[in-house]
Amino acid sequence: MAEQGLDDVFSDDITMPATDGYPLAATLFLPRGAKRHAVLIDSGYNQPKSLVGFKASMADWAAQDITAAVAWMRERYKALPFAYVGHSFGGQSLRTTRKLEPPSLRAKRSNL
C-alpha cells in the first residue's frame, strides 16, 4: 500500500519464498519515477512473535532467507545495478551470498 506521507516512494508488503519454500515477509520500496538501482537492505536478526519456537539457526536463516532474497532481487531487477546493505547479523549473513555475485565482484573482493 502506498505511504501517504512520501510523495516520491511507493512501498508494498510482499512475500517471497525462502530456498526451502517458507514464505518470507519483506517490504518493497519503489520510486514513483524511473528505477536506477536495486538495493537489498538486511536489518539483521529479528524474530517476530509469529516465529517463536520455529526451529532454525542463524546459519539456516542466512543460507535460506538471504540467499533467496538476493536471488529474488537479482531476477526481478536484473537490468539494474544491484547492491546490498546489512546491519549487524544482516551484514554477516550477506556474506553467504557470495556464490550469487558476478565473478568480477568476487575477484575484487578476494583482492581486499
Instruction: List all residues 6 or more positions away from 72 whose beta carbon is below 8 Å from its beta carbon.
Output: 16
More confident residue, 23 or 48: 23
Full-model pTM: 0.69
Rg of the chain taking only CA atoms, in angstroms? 15
The pLDDT score that the predictor gives to residue 58 is 75
Q: Which helix (H) or strand (E) holds 82?
A: strand 82-86
Nearest to 51 by CA among 65, 72, 68, 71: 65
62 touches 100 (CB < 8 A): no
pLDDT band at 62 (very low <50, low <70, confident <90, very high): confident
Does residue 57 carry a pLDDT above 80? no
> What ranges do the domains of the chain cover?
60-112
User: Which three cell numbers, joined as nine digits, stand for 6?
Assistant: 512520501
